Amino acid sequence: MTMYIARTAEETVTKLSQQFKVLLVTGARQVGKSTLLKHCDENRNYVSLDDLTQREMAINEPKLFLKNHPTPLIIDEIQYAPELLSYIKLAVDMSDKKGQYWLTGSQQFQMMKNISETLAGRVGIIDLLGFSLSEIAGNKYSQPFDVETERETKKIYSINEIFQAIYNGFYPALNNQEEIDRDIFYGSYLRTYIERDIRALNFISDELKFLTFIRVIAARTGQVLKYSEIAKEVEISQPTAKNWLSLLVASNLVYLLPPYYKNINKRMTKMPKIYFLDTGLCAYLTGWSSAEVIQKGAMNGAFFETFVVSEILKSYFHNGKRPFIYWYRDTLGKEIDLLIEKNGQLQAIEIKLSANPNKSMIKNFSLIENLSAGGIICMYEREMFLTENVKSIPVFNI
C-alpha cells in the first residue's frame, strides 16, 4: 500500500507559487516530483507529456494544447516539449496571477537553458532529490543544515539502521511500498534512464560502455574527480568522460562538490569531489549485496560520507536554497571534509563513521582563518560541544 510521506519541499512549492507565475520542479526520475505537486494542490489540472498523444499536440499544436488544459495546471515532463515554453510565457504575461503553471522535468540537459531564456523572471525552481532521513522520520520541516542551528532529534538510528537506509536508498518507491524488490527497481531504473533519457539525446554511441562508465563513477563516490583515471578504466577519451559525467550531473544522479579557495575564481579551476546523490543506486551499481556487507566493507566510509553530503544537499534544495558548500585541501594535503560559507564566514565539518568524537578529528579546523563554528557529523547519539565553537552532531539530526 502506497503511503504519502510529507516533504520539506511542500512549503517551498507554496512559497514560490506565491512569488512566481510558473514553478519548475526538477529532479531525477522517480524522486516524487509529480506526487509532490499533486499533493500540494489536489484540484489542479494535470497532464503528462509521457502520454505520446499529449506530447505530439504540445509540440505541434501548442496553442490548442494549452486551450485543452486550462490553468491552474501541472505539466509533467516538460523537457519533451520545449516548444511549449514560449507559449506558456505568452499565456502568463496576459495575467498577473501567480502559480498558473507547475512544471516538472527529469532532464536538465537543454531544459534549463530553454527555461532560463524563455521564462526569465517568471519561474521559481526547486531541485528535488529523494526522501531525506528527516522526512522518513516524520519531520518535514527541516531547515537548511547549519552547524549552529539547534535541532530536535525525531528518531535515534543505530549504525545498522543507517547502513540499511544507505543500502536501500531514498527513492520514494523503496520507502513507501514494502512489496517492491530493491534490485528489480534499480535494474529497471537504469534501463529506463539509459533507454529513454540518454538514448533520446543521441550523445551515447555505446550504451554498454556508458553503463560501465556509470559503475566506475559510482565506485569513486567521495573521491576527487580525475578524468584521466576514469577515461583509462572505461577505455574512452577524456573529452568523452567529461561529456558523459556532465550528463550524470544534469540528470541529478551525481553532484560535484567544488573545492574552496579564497580566490573565488580558483574554485572553478581545481578538481571537485564526486558524490552520488542516492546511496542505494550507488550501492546497486557497485554490486554490494547487503547493508551488512557495505558496513563492514572497504567503502563504508565513502558511503557514509556520500550519505551525509546528500542529506545536507537535500536540506538546502528542498527549501529552495542554493548551498554554498565546498571541500578543502591545502598545499600540504591537509583536508577538511566540508566547508559551509555563510555571511562571509565559514563552518567546518568533518564526517566520521564513529560513535566516539574527539578533538583529534578537528585538528585541521585551525587552517581556516574566519571559522565561525565547526562540527563532527558522526554516530554519537547527542550533540556535545568539544570546544567553545565545535560540537559533535548525530548523523540523524542533519
Q: pLDDT, tens digit, for every residue of 180-191?
A: 899 999 999 999
Q: How far apart are CA 342 and CA 145, in angstroms?
A: 11
Residue 107 has pLDDT above 70, yes or no: no
**Residue 120 pLDDT:** 82
**Residue 49 pLDDT:** 95
Q: How far apart are CA 222 and CA 200, in angstroms?
A: 30
**Residue 1 pLDDT:** 53
Exposed e or buried b per residue across 283-294, where buried means at least 16 C-beta atoms within 10 angstroms of its C-beta: bbbbebeebeeb
**Mean pLDDT score of the chain:** 92
What is the three-state SS of 332-353?
CCCEEEEEEEECCEEEEEEECC
Q: How far apart are CA 240 and CA 66, in angstroms?
A: 39
Q: How far apart are CA 282 and CA 186, in angstroms?
A: 10
User: Which of the two residues, 304 and 155, has the higher pLDDT score?
Assistant: 304
Distance of CA 209 to the CA centre of its chain: 25
pLDDT band at 160 (very low <50, low <70, confident <90, very high): very high
Across the range 351-371, mean pLDDT stands at: 94
Q: How far apart are CA 48 and CA 50, in angstroms?
A: 5
How would you class 249 by CB atoms within 10 Å of its CB: exposed for 0-12, middle for 13-18, buried for 19 or more?
A: middle
What contacts 282, CB < 8 A, 6 or more positions away? 218, 221, 276, 303, 306
Q: How far apart are CA 376 and CA 373, in angstroms?
A: 11
CB atoms within 10 A of CB 341: 14
238-250 vs 207-219: helix axis angle to the nearest 10?
Answer: 80
Q: Which three cell numbers stand for residue 179?
A: 512489496
Which of the following CATH numbers is that of domain 9-127: 3.40.50.880, 3.60.21.10, 3.40.50.300, 3.40.50.720?
3.40.50.300
Share of the chain above pLDDT 90, in %: 77
User: Which of the two residues, 106 and 103, has the higher pLDDT score?
Assistant: 103
Residue 110 has pLDDT above 90, yes or no: no
Across the range 378-394, mean pLDDT stands at: 94
227-234 vs 238-250: helix axis angle to the nearest 10?
Answer: 100
**Residue 2 pLDDT:** 65
What contacts 239, CB < 8 A, 6 or more positions away? none
pLDDT tens per residue, range 220-249: 999 999 999 999 999 999 999 999 999 899
Q: Which of 205, 189, 173, 149 is nearest to 397 (CA)?
A: 149
Q: How far apart are CA 398 and CA 381, in angstroms?
A: 12
Residue 203 has pLDDT above 80, yes or no: no
CA 114 vs CA 46, 244, 252: distances in Å: 22, 21, 18
Are the C-beta atoms of 104 and 280 separated by less than 8 Å? no
pLDDT band at 112 (very low <50, low <70, confident <90, very high): low
The backbone torsions φ and ψ at residue 151, rounded to the nearest 5 degrees and listed phi first, read: -120, 145
**Residue 102 pLDDT:** 98
User: Which of the two residues, 204 and 250, has the higher pLDDT score?
Assistant: 250
The boundaries of every CATH 3.40.50.300 domain in the chain are 9-127
**Residue 370 pLDDT:** 85
**Residue 33 pLDDT:** 96
Share of the chain above pLDDT 70, in %: 94
**Residue 3 pLDDT:** 75
pLDDT band at 31 (very low <50, low <70, confident <90, very high): very high
Q: How far apart are CA 307 and CA 133, in angstroms?
A: 10
pLDDT tens per residue, range 244-279: 999 899 889 999 999 998 766 666 558 999 999 999
33-40 vs 9-17: helix axis angle to the nearest 10?
Answer: 60
Q: What is the DSSP string of 19-35?
A: T-SEEEEE-STTSSHHH
Which of 98-107, 178-187, 258-267, 348-357 is predicted least confidently?
258-267
Are the C-beta atoms of 170 and 278 separated by less than 8 Å? yes
pLDDT tens per residue, range 60-77: 999 999 999 999 999 999
**Type and span of the H or E element at 114:** helix 111-118
Residue 328 has pLDDT above 80, yes or no: yes
